[in-house]
Structure 1
Amino acid sequence: MRSICAMRSLLAAAAAASAPTVLRAGAFPLLPPLLSLPLRRGRAARNMLGAARTVSAAAQSRLGGGAAMDVRAAQSGEIHVIVGPMFAGKTTALLRRVQAEAGSGRTVVLIKSDKDNRYGLDSVVTHDGTKMACWALSELSSFHDKLGMEAYDKVDVIGIDEAQFFDDLYDFCCKAADRDGKIVVVAGLDGDYKRKKFGSVLDVVPLADSVTKLTARCELCGRRAFFTLRKTQETKTELIGGADVYMPVCRHHYLDGQVVIEATRVVLGLDRSTVTAQALK
């Protein structure tokens, strides 16, 4: 009888020894994602771990270091671009977005080019009269210094109107969103009256979280207007004006309008030549 009991004890001990070990969930702390690598021995493993730490330190150094400029802050930035022809409601869309952000508790700031002084320099104003206080600047790079570091750190959202007039738009958006974690909303013309690229607005598109293309109504037929027709004979690209200088048109009337404008220029040129010739007689 004793031998049978002893045999059973030996069998139970052998079964327990051969059973797989079950680890309790959470028994070991999880490694950071950067260090979640296959476990290796020797110099190769030490070199890999050291390289990973070096890359991480270099990345944090480029981002400025510190709590205000850490990796998590850099990942929270956004860029949203609003484009379209004149009178498409770009400024209205910008103000709505900025006001909505302010309503959600975020600190917002508006910037516009000091070249646009149609409605004064202290406000961003829509064509229907809606306005909001702003900073009027010649260069976006000066905004940080003018506002001050402490005030800048508290800003969550930066709205930029008439963005086509800022030559440093691309660099500013990169730093504000990627480095400083700001939400940047850019509104401006994507093309000039010749349907050529206007300023740096299109350069920001590859950086953007979203791009909105607005349209107006053609003043000649009421269809959707994608282009801006200049009514005057002025040929310089930057010409500030409203309905007295520009009108939104569809593709058909843009092409027709260009023909009419060119014909007018030819006629005016002939008239000037005639007047000059007569004056010399």
Structure 2
Amino acid sequence: MAVSTPNAAPAIRQRLRPSMPFCICHSSRRSGGVKRLSILTCGKYRVRTPDPLASARIPRMAAQRIPWLHVIAGCMSSGKTAEVVRLLSRREIAGQSVLLITPSRDTRVAPGEVVSRTGTRFPSVVAADASAIRAEVLKRDPDAVAIEEAQFFGADLPGILEELVAGPRTVIVSGLDQDFAGRPFATIPELLARADEVTKLTAICVKCGREATRTQRMRNGQPASVSDELIVIGGMGGDDTYEARCRACHVVLP
């Protein structure tokens, strides 16, 4: 079928089944200053039109924001950062604006980016507390925001994240759900209860090779005591190191 009127495209579209994709392929040439007709192709239908994009333009749908809280929890070395970067990267590819926030007290990497254990890098901004997270998000207004190491942001975090989710926007949170002694850690249990989506990740136990769900703190090569301070940043050349352990291999001294 061929039609040579510029207004034919809407008529053709009315004849299409809803499931039939409407694909535009066109080319135009000028000869002696006169623009020749272009061909618009839609399945078996062909439309001759001097302006195919004007007469058959298909509106592009903008990304619709929805309120969504996604919590990613697990022990150390379980791939939480890599998963956060993966989720943000796929949104960037789709043209959405994203923001990654890390706590200022985590000094293991230089400010301005996160680095997963597999070497994946992603730009980030640093915030000192939950109020600073709110300020950064309201200033930049991203479609999606991710919070790394959420256990370090204090008791105000759940309430502030509820405000940000209501924006509406997607909020992705990652953190340790248990402390070094295997106890529920900071605000992560509450965030898990509030979440619309939960991802629980595991690592590999360094002792036996089974699935690891615990974070083992070692102090001077020995398991830490349950009475030790709750938060100690490891991996900075100090006396404390951390490793992934299964429940059976996890040891906490009295």
Query: What residue identity is the alignment partner of 2:182?
Result: R
State the AA in 2 paired with 1:80: H
Which residue among 175, 195, 198 is the counterpart of 2:185? 198
Structure 1 residue runs of 4 or more that deviate by more than 4 Å after TM superposition:
none
Max radius of gyration: which structure?
1
Equivalent in 61, 77, 88 of residue 87 of structure 1? 77
2:231 to 228, 231, 238: 238
**Corresponding residue for 1:163?**
150
**Alpha-carbon distance in 2 for matches of 1:210, 1:172:** 18
Secondary structure in structure 1 of the residue aligned to 2:192: helix
* Aligned residues of 1:169 and 1:201 also touching (Cα < 8 A): no
Where is the strand percentage greater, Structure 1 or Structure 2?
Answer: 2
The answer for unaligned runs of 5 or more in structure 2 is 1-63
The answer to whether the Cα contact below 8 Å between 2:205 and 2:211 also exists between their aligned partners in 1 is yes
The 5 Å alignment of 1:31-50 reads none
Which of 92, 95, 104 aligns to 1:114? It is: 104
CA–CA distance in structure 2, aligned partners of residues 175 and 134 of structure 1: 21
TM-score (ref. length: structure 1): 0.60
| Percent pairwise identity | 32
Q: Secondary structure at the match of 1:112?
A: strand
Number of aligned residue pairs: 181
Per-residue CA deviation, residues 105-144 of structure 1 (Å, 9 max, x unaligned), is 1100000110111111211121232221111111122234
- Return the alpha-carbon distance in structure 2 between the equivalents of residues 130 and 140 of structure 1: 26
The 8 Å contact of residues 124 and 134 in structure 1, kept in 2 or not, is answered as yes
Structure with the higher fraction of residues in helix conformation: 1
Write the distance in 1 (CA, Å) between the matches of 2:132 and 2:246: 38
Q: Which amino acid aligns with 1:227?
A: R
The alpha carbon displacement at 1:172 in A equals: 1.9
Describe the shift of the 1:228–1:103 C-alpha distance in structure 2 as closer, same or farther (beyond 3 A). Answer: same
Residue 105 and residue 86 in structure 1: after superposition, are their counterparts in 2 closer, same or farther (change >3 A)? Answer: same
Unaligned runs of 5+ in 1: 1-72, 263-281
Deviation at 1:84, TM superposition (A): 0.4
Distance in 1 separating the partners of 2:198 and 2:89: 19
Q: What is the rounded CA distance, in whole Å, between the counterparts of 1:202 and 1:122 in structure 2? A: 28
Offset at residue 226 of structure 1 (A):
0.7
